Structure 1
Amino acid sequence: MTPVPISASSPDNENSSQSRREEGALTGENHHLAIRGDWTLADYQTLKQKVLEYSGQQWNTEDINLKELGRVDTAGASLLVALLGPKTLSALTKQGGTLPQEQSALLQAVADALHDKPPPEPEGLAPISQFLTETGKTVEAIWHLIYLLSGFVGQILATLFAVLPRPKRWRVTAFVAAIQDTGLNALPIVALLTFLVGAVVAFLGATVLKDFGATIYTVNLVAFSFLREFGVLLAAILLAGRTASAFTAQIGAMKVNEELDAIRTLGLDPVELLVIPRVLAMMISLPILTFVGMLAGLVGGGMVCAIALDISPTQFMAIMERDIALKHFLVGMSKAPIFAFLIAAIGCLEGFKVGGSAQSVGVHTTSSVVQSIFAVILLDAGAALFFMQMGW
């Protein structure tokens, strides 16, 4: 009777294969590192603990022994990269005769894939390392944002100076439409908000100054605050939330729909076509809204003074004429064009940064509002310190 040969998948062969399996091991003595056994996913947690014990040391290729290394999969290869580093492991795989060709190819591929990733940090330093890493990323992101904004502002100014001497290239229709959108449509909300804030400031001032018998100076408080700060600041913050987001959404939607690519294909400049009219419209609208905000705030404060303090509108105006100099009005108005230019630039820049999805439009729209408000408040604080030092 002819004997039947045993197949490769017979139980005897499977048992012998399991008996030949050697769990991965790692030993380091006298600056020599021996790596042996199977480095596979089955022993990942055990091998990871051993790798962490030697993670802070540096090894030379001549001090590493891989001759007893068994089977290796991608999980084990990633641990070897974390232990030795991508460069050292890559150098070991290139040494002829050390490893089989299949293992060398796998280790080389994993080392190349993880080349830019840092080795794992010891667990004891993980919170500190993570905090420093996040702080560094935040600082780098802010610096990159400032760099992009500076370059975009320069591009706007260069295009503006190139277009202004050529009236044929002026986009009058887009400019007028932007003024209506940014100025006229925003007029009611700016007037209402500044009127209410003026009334609140006058009420609080009267409440505090009443204890000192100086309620008459509520007029000075309202006039100073709205002519120098609140009028321009409230109008700028409203436009930052209302108009900067609109600019980002409009330009971002055009980029998602590939309309910007079509504009460039026609030989037109998107900055000249889309940005310049919006920037100029904002620089005209915000001073007008600032003036309206100042008047509305003074009216709100005057109303509270007339109702709660028995200061008539005629007396209110007489005190303003006597105690409030024209320079306070000029200080407030001088900040409006600068805020307008900055808000429009940030809104348009975030629109150009939109990716190819609707989610990206929402992310950059939110980012433009936050950046615009932060930039306005920061610039206003710097301007206040400057004017104070100058005595204006």
Structure 2
Amino acid sequence: MERPADFKLEPAADRPTVTLSGDWTANQLGEAGRGLADTLDGLSNFALDLRRVRRLDTAGAYAVIRAAGKGFDLSQVHARPETQRLLTLVGEAVTHEPVVRREPKGFHDLTIRIGKGVMNAGAEALDTMGFLGHLLVVLARTLVNLFIAPRRIRWAAIVSLMERAGLDAIPIVAITSFFIGAVVGLLGANMLQQFGAEVFAVELIGIAVLREFNIIITAVLLAGRSASSFAAEIGSMKMNQEIDAMRVLGVDPFEALVFPRFAALLLTIPLLTFVATLAGLFGGLAVTWSVLDLGPAFFLQRIIDNVGPTHFWIALSKAPVMAAVIAGIGCRQGLEVGVDVESLGRRVTAAVVHAIFAIIMIDAAFALLYMELDL
């Protein structure tokens, strides 16, 4: 049974004694701490007896120390050993002067930032290699299960994610690619009219859309749409400790969460690239037909004769790499989410930024490779 904190002053000619009793805790302290401080305010030489105190926490210890004053010697308090240790600990914390750290400035601050950046980059590289290795193991295991135990593969999750990440993105991909093709056609027509070669705007549209813009627009839209979604979904599960519960139940999060998203993007990005190609060509066709008065039959015939399908297959060869990078970055950032909402927002933003940066770098690498191969 809890008892409220109380104290009693026992006057004496040489040294009065203040005896504390009850529970000197945060719940039972009440006004006892303030009353003790008022009582001891006019006393210069007194003793404290805490042997009758039943329970004492840091709030009660701080009230006693504050009432006794800074010059009081806590070693002279009559108390049980555990009470004496708590008083000493709180007394040291109260009298401890905070250390003021001088903030680095100028060149010193610059070197610290560079060092932290290098260390963070190294840690990110190691984490990425670990994520990639784990994902490759899951992919190999899934390929084996495809022939041995296909029922172990989560087909329902893959199909559902294909619809959400792929089919639902068709309208935005088609509309964006249409306007990109129209802009390329309009710029090409205006520039080539100066040289009387406006008919070559068809080849410009065909090569730009078939080779670059179809896969770039698709990948960038998926980076903003799917990578952020993957990071947010997995990050929310990480915050709610659902992923920890999976591991406790013996379920591999990579097999249950990462692989279905990886497979969904891998299977749907060729379809989205094809849709983007058709929409981009249609946008260019609309511009050349309305501005240059080049009919659809003429437009398509020049595309077939002078552009050909090679550029489309070159763009399609980039699609699996783009899908793997987008899904991998989104899932990895989701698995790195901490326990707070700020971490979730930071990782979702990082997923989009890293995915778009990786897309541009990969496209540049493919451009250099195909230039060396004369394709």
Question: TM-score under structure 2 normalisation?
Answer: 0.71
Residue identity opposite 1:379 in structure 2: I
**1:152-171 Cα shifts (integer Å, max 9, x gaps):** 12211111111222113100
Q: Which runs of 5+ in 2 are unaligned?
A: 1-12, 15-40, 43-91
- After superposition, give the CA deviation of every residue in 1:192-220 in whole Å (9 maximum; x if it has no partner): 00001110110011111111111111111
Q: CA deviation at 1:190?
A: 0.3
Contact 1:198–1:300 (Cα < 8 Å) also in 2 = yes
Following the alignment from structure 2 to structure 1, what is the Cα–Cα distance between the partners of residues 308 and 323?
Answer: 25
Residues 219/139 of structure 1: CA separation in 2 closer, same or farther (3 Å cut)? farther
Native 8 Å contact 1:244 1:372 kept in 2: yes
Counterparts of 1:144 and 1:235, CA distance in 2: 30
The Cα offsets for residues 213-236 of structure 1, whole Å up to 9 and x where unpaired, read as 111111111111111111000000
Pick aligned residue for 1:316 from 277, 289, 299: 299
Match of 1:131 among 91, 100, 110: 110
Give deviations 1:74-121, integer Å, cap 9, x for gaps: xxxxxxxxxxxxxxxxxxxxxxxxxxxxxxxx9xxx9xx99xxxx969
Counterpart CA distance in 2 for 1:309 and 1:178 is: 43
Q: 1:173 to 1:215 in 2, by over 3 A?
A: same
**Aligned counterparts of 1:212 and 1:138: Cα–Cα separation in 2:** 51
Shift of 1:257: 1.1
Percent of aligned pairs with the same amino acid: 41
Counterpart AA for 2:311: H
Give the corresponding residue for 1:189.
172
Q: Equivalent residue of 1:164, what SS?
A: helix
CA distance in 2, matches of 1:263, 1:247: 17
Q: 2:251 aligns with which of 268, 274, 280?
A: 268
Letter in 1 for 2:283: G
Mapped to 2, the partners of 1:337 and 1:252 lie a distance apart of: 25
Q: Deviations over 1:240-283 (max 9, x none)?
A: 00001110111111111111111111111110011111100000
User: In structure 2, what is the Cα distance between the partners aligned to 1:178 and 1:323?
Assistant: 38
Q: Is the aligned partner of 1:164 residue 2:147?
A: no
Counterpart in 2 of 1:146? Answer: 125
Specify whether residues 308 and 152 from structure 1 end up closer, same or farther in structure 2 by C-alpha distance, changes over 3 A only: same
- Tell me the amino acid that sits aligned with residue 140 of structure 2: F
- Tell me if the contact between 1:209 and 1:215 (Cα under 8 Å) persists in the aligned partners: yes
Equivalent residue, structure 2, for 1:356: 339
Shift of 1:151: 2.1
Conserved 8 A contact 1:248-1:347? yes
Tell me, yes or no, if structure 1 residue 234 matches structure 2 residue 213: no
- Equivalent AA in structure 2 for residue 130 of structure 1: D
Equivalent positions of 1:192-231 (< 5 A) are: 192-231=175-214
Matches of 1:129 and 1:391, distance apart in 2: 49
Structure 1 residues without counterparts, runs of 5 or longer: 11-105
**Pairwise CA distance, 1:359:** 2.0
Residue in 1 aligned with 2:65?
none
CA distance in 2, matches of 1:144, 1:229: 33
1:359-370 paired onto structure 2 within 5 Å: 359-370=342-353
Which residue identity lines up with residue 138 of structure 1 in the other structure? G
| Maintained 8 Å contact 1:164/1:170 | no
1:180 to 143, 154, 163: 163
CA distance in 1, matches of 2:262, 2:233: 14
For the residues of structure 2 that align with 1:219 and 1:360, how far apart are their CA atoms? 48
Which residue in 1 is equivalent to 2:229?
A: 246
Taking the aligned partners of 1:148 and 1:207, their CA distance within structure 2 comes to: 49
> 1:145 Cα deviation (Å)?
2.1
2:76 aligned partner: none
Preserved contact between residue 149 and residue 346 of structure 1 (Cα < 8 Å) = no
- Out of 274, 278, 283, the residue aligned to residue 295 of structure 1 is 278
The yes-or-no answer on 1:328 pairing with 2:311 is yes
Q: Matches of 2:266 and 2:228 in 1, distance apart? A: 17
CA distance in 2, matches of 1:289, 1:136: 42
- After superposition, the C-alpha distances for 1:46-86 in whole angstroms (9 at most, x for unaligned) are xxxxxxxxxxxxxxxxxxxxxxxxxxxxxxxxxxxxxxxxx
Rounded Cα–Cα distance in structure 2 between residues aligned with 1:144 and 1:246? 24
Q: Secondary structure at 2:156's aligned position in 1?
A: helix
Q: Which moved more, 1:214-223 or 1:142-151?
A: 142-151
Per mean C-alpha deviation after superposition, the further-off stretch among 150-159 and 185-194 is 150-159
Three-state SS of the structure 2 residue aligned to 1:185 is: helix
Alpha-carbon distance in 2 for matches of 1:352, 1:241: 18
Are the equivalent residues in 2 in contact too, given 1:305–1:311 (CA < 8 A)? yes
- Give the aligned length: 292
SS at match of 1:310: coil
AA aligned opposite 1:145: E
Large movers: runs of 4+ above 4 Å = 119-122
For 1:321 and 1:364, the matched residues in 2 are separated by 45
